[in-house]
Amino acid sequence: MDLGLSDADYYEIESKNNKSIKGVLTDGLLLWHNKLETGDGFDVLISKLKSGKHNQAAGWIQNYIDTN
């Protein structure tokens, strides 16, 4: 699945612990956000998005979906 991420797809969101992160402006983000927020994976995603590594974040999300 090609997530087709671009800079235009990103916007700021906040998690329950008030960490401001960039998200993907799709319905799928909410699924990833809710699913990842309770585990270590969410911190990894926050780190990749904060560092601007969007392609790496997309790959990490895809790997997470494929293996969970």
Return the domain boundaries, the chain. 27-68
Cα distance between residue 35 and residue 8, in whole Å: 23
Query: Cβ-count burial of 64 within 10 angstroms (0-12 exposed, 13-18 middle, 19+ buried)?
Result: middle
pLDDT of residue 2: 47
**Per-residue pLDDT at 65:** 62
- Mean pLDDT in runs of 10 for the chain (68 residues)? 46 45 43 49 62 66 65
d(CA 13, CA 64): 20
pLDDT on residue 15 = 46
> What's the pLDDT score for residue 25?
38
What does the alpha-carbon distance between residue 24 and residue 34 come to, in Å, rounded to a whole number? 13
pLDDT score, position 40: 54
